[in-house]
């Protein structure tokens, strides 16, 4: 699986937008971009995924660069509950195997 690079940590204030970057310069044409997050003492949870176009759901937005070499997860209004480790993951949509390859992720802190 292609590699992703994320900052180790980021800080935000409550009710402000948060932009979490992810670089994936070696992404292939069939790689989907996934974001998961892991709240303290819990298993990871799915946030969003996309291939080429920007995506929105109730949790977040995913902005994908035109060359697909980077993407940004956008939390529109951070809450204290959004403090978590955020993982950017690439998965080859052509492969039958469905293992998610997690890196170390970005630890997001949210202050009130």
Partner 1 sequence: DTGVSQDPRHKITKRGQNVTFRCDPISEHNRLYWYRQTLGQGPEFLTYFQNEAQLEKSRLLSDRFSAERPKGSFSTLEIQRTEQGDSAMYLCASSLRDRVYEQYFGPGTRLTVT
Interface residue list for partner 1 (CB under 8 A): 32, 34, 41-46, 49, 85, 87, 91, 96-105
Q: Which is nearer to partner 1, 32 or 74 (CB)?
A: 32
Closer residue to partner 1 (CB): 70 or 87? 87
Nearest approach in angstroms of CB 15 to partner 1 is: 28
Minimum CB separation of residue 46 from partner 1 in Å reads: 5
Q: How far is the CB of 1 from partner 1 (least distance, A)?
A: 10
Contacts of 18 (CB under 8 A, 6+ apart): 10, 12, 74, 75, 78, 82, 108, 110
- Spatial neighbors of 38 by CB under 8 A, at least 6 apart, are 44, 45, 84, 85, 87, 105
């Amino acid at each position: 699986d292609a590699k992703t690079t994320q900052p180790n940590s980021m800080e935000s204030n409550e009710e402000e937008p948060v932009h979490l970057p992810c670089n994936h310069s070696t992404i292939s044409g069939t790689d989907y971009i996934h974001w998961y997050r892991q709240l303290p003492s819990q298993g990871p949870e799915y946030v969003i995924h996309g291939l080429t176009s920007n995506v929105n759901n109730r949790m977040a937005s995913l902005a994908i660069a035109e060359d697909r070499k980077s993407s940004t997860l956008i939390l529109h209004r951070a809450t204290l509950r959004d403090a978590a480790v955020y993982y950017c993951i690439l998965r080859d949509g052509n492969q039958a195997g469905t293992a998610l390859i997690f890196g170390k992720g970005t630890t997001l802190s949210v202050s009130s």
